[in-house]
Amino acid sequence: QSTTAPRRVAVFGATGSIGASALDVIARHPDRYRATVLAAGTQVQALVALCALHRPAHAVIASEALYADLRDGLRAAGLDTQAHAGAAALDQLAASDACDTLVAAIVGAAGLSSTLAAAGAGKRILLANKESLVLAGELLMQRATAAGAEIIPIDSEHSAIFQCLRSRDASLDQAGVRRILLTASGGPFRGRSRAELAEVTPAQAVAHPKWSMGPKISVDSATLMNKGLEVIEAHHLFNIPGERIDVLVHPQSLVHSLVEFVDGSTLAQMGLPDMRTTLAVGLGWPHRIESGVGGLDLLSQGRLDFEAPDTDAFPCLGLAWQAMAAGGTAPAVLNAANEVAVSAFLQGRIAFLAIPGLVANALSTLPSASADTLEGLLAADQHARQITQAAIDHA
């Protein structure tokens, strides 16, 4: 492979948890991968520090007001990285010749636009931003197919399924798939009753027992909304109906998901809970590359447990199933209400158990409409944000 030019990788969400893992793997293979575009939301200093390490051609800060800070910071560091700011710059660079691969690791619906831009331009997309699939899964998958973009999931469960299926082009029926089983760690509050969740704090919620992740997805893991979003994500990525998706709680987080075939065979993908493996799969596919992650020591691990999710204590999982079944704008509403509620919880403004209540409120206030345009989906997203913010402000 050393005879070919390195792949040019844009890392959006470079200052986050997935961004750090992506850059770690990229830096292990300077002959194969170059980080050519780095982007972040508001953390200028962290972005400049990453530019000093990885020397990209372009750096983007999403917040327009921070353009001068980024430009001056790059200059002060003696870098010739070109500074950009704003969401339009993200879209333009994602679709440009500056990259052939996008690591889509912005958190939340804010990641949709640049992911769609990369899909329309036929890029390889390492898709961590699951919210874009929940919000606009059909549109995104259609756009990727039409433009020949490859979407490789950067979610441990979906990467596991992707690896078990091996050929992403075959339909599930051609591949002989009966169902897929998504595993869930159960999060930091596994085993607690609903009553025992009333007083939990943001600090407890983000202290995940197995994975080190950004604050939003950590809270989603604690409510099990993350698994709900992942069911919808799997539905779109693998074009599989909800009836053929099951969720299993597996506290050790070593089996990342399973695929059951029509002949009764079940394949599982296993590994340590470290997203660098998933990112290496996405960067190298169909080849395997070093990720810095060691193998499993099953003897010291001892055992693997599986149990059913507790849908009474964690109603978010059921709300996600409900939104997926309703279809149309309902998943967009679910996602938007959840983003607003999680942000309020992290700021200490609402209790943990208010999160599912606010999501349920948005879903019942905004009945699902059909959603075949991006405008319609974004309008539903905005409306759900307003309703949820108002419910928080007036509580």
Q: In terms of CB distance, is 81 or 156 closer to Mg ion?
A: 156
Q: Which residue is nearest to ligand NAD (CB)?
A: 16
Residue range at the interface with ligand NAD (CB under 6 A); choices 163-171, 207-215, 249-257, 330-338: 207-215
Lookup: tokens for 302: 């001892």
Residue range at the interface with ligand NAD (CB under 6 A); choices 50-58, 103-111, 190-198, 331-339: 103-111
Lookup: tokens for 349: 């403004």
Does residue 6 contact residue 12 with C-beta atoms inside 8 Å? no
86 forms part of the interface with ligand NAD (CB under 6 A): no
**Considering only residues 74, 89, 91, 155, which one is a binding residue for ligand NAD as defined by CB under 6 A?**
155
To ligand NAD, the closest distance from the beta carbon of 217 in angstroms equals 4
**Considering only residues 110, 317, 319, 320, which one is a binding residue for ligand NAD as defined by CB under 6 A?**
110
CA angle 174, 180, 181 (to 5 degrees): 165
131 forms part of the interface with ligand NAD (CB under 6 A): yes
Residue length, the chain?
395
Q: Among ligand NAD, Mg ion, none, what binds residue 67 when CB lies within 5 to 8 Å by partner kind? A: none
Residue range at the interface with ligand NAD (CB under 6 A); choices 14-22, 66-74, 162-170, 329-337: 14-22
Q: In terms of CB distance, is 156 or 277 closer to Mg ion?
A: 156
361 forms part of the interface with ligand NAD (CB under 6 A): no
DSSP code for 65:
G
Does residue 183 contact residue 256 with C-beta atoms inside 8 Å? yes
17 forms part of the interface with ligand NAD (CB under 6 A): yes
**Considering only residues 26, 38, 103, 107, which one is a binding residue for ligand NAD as defined by CB under 6 A?**
107
To ligand NAD, the closest distance from the beta carbon of 103 in angstroms equals 9
175 backbone φψ class: left, alpha, beta (φ>0; ψ -120 to 50): alpha
Q: In terms of CB distance, is 128 or 164 closer to ligand NAD?
A: 128
Q: In terms of CB distance, is 62 or 93 closer to ligand NAD?
A: 62
Q: Among ligand NAD, Mg ion, none, what binds residue 187 when CB lies within 5 to 8 Å by partner kind? A: none
Chain positions 26 to 65 lying near ligand NAD, rule: CB under 6 A, are: 40-41, 43, 62
**Considering only residues 214, 242, 357, 376, which one is a binding residue for ligand NAD as defined by CB under 6 A?**
214
Report how far residue 39's alpha carbon sits from residue 356's, in angstroms, rounded to the nearest whole number: 32
**Considering only residues 7, 8, 10, 18, which one is a binding residue for ligand NAD as defined by CB under 6 A?**
18
DSSP symbols for 329-347? THHHHHHHHHHHHHHHHHT
Q: Which residues neighbour 69 within 8 Å (Cβ) at sequence distance 6 or greater?
A: 44, 61
DSSP H helix total and E strand total for the chain? 16, 11
For 364-369, the CB contacts below 8 A with 24+ separation are 366/329, 366/333, 368/323, 368/326, 368/327, 368/328, 368/329, 368/330, 368/333, 369/328, 369/329
Report how far residue 157's alpha carbon sits from residue 43's, in angstroms, rounded to the nearest whole number: 29
Report how far residue 230's alpha carbon sits from residue 348's, in angstroms, rounded to the nearest whole number: 26
Comparing CA positions, the residue from 383, 377, 389 lying closest to residue 133 is 377
Q: In terms of CB distance, is 9 or 161 closer to Mg ion?
A: 161
To Mg ion, the closest distance from the beta carbon of 291 in angstroms equals 17
To ligand NAD, the closest distance from the beta carbon of 261 in angstroms equals 26
Q: Among Mg ion, ligand NAD, none, what binds residue 275 when CB lies within 5 to 8 Å by partner kind? A: ligand NAD
Report how far residue 75's alpha carbon sits from residue 260's, in angstroms, rounded to the nearest whole number: 54
Can you name the residues that pair with 184 across neighbouring β-strands?
A: 249
Report how far residue 250's alpha carbon sits from residue 364's, in angstroms, rounded to the nearest whole number: 32
- Which residues of the chain form contacts with Mg ion (CB under 5 A)? 155-157
Q: In terms of CB distance, is 217 or 258 closer to ligand NAD?
A: 217
105 forms part of the interface with ligand NAD (CB under 6 A): yes
Site residues, ligand NAD (CB under 6 A): 13-19, 40-41, 43, 62, 105-107, 110, 128-131, 155, 211, 213-217, 275
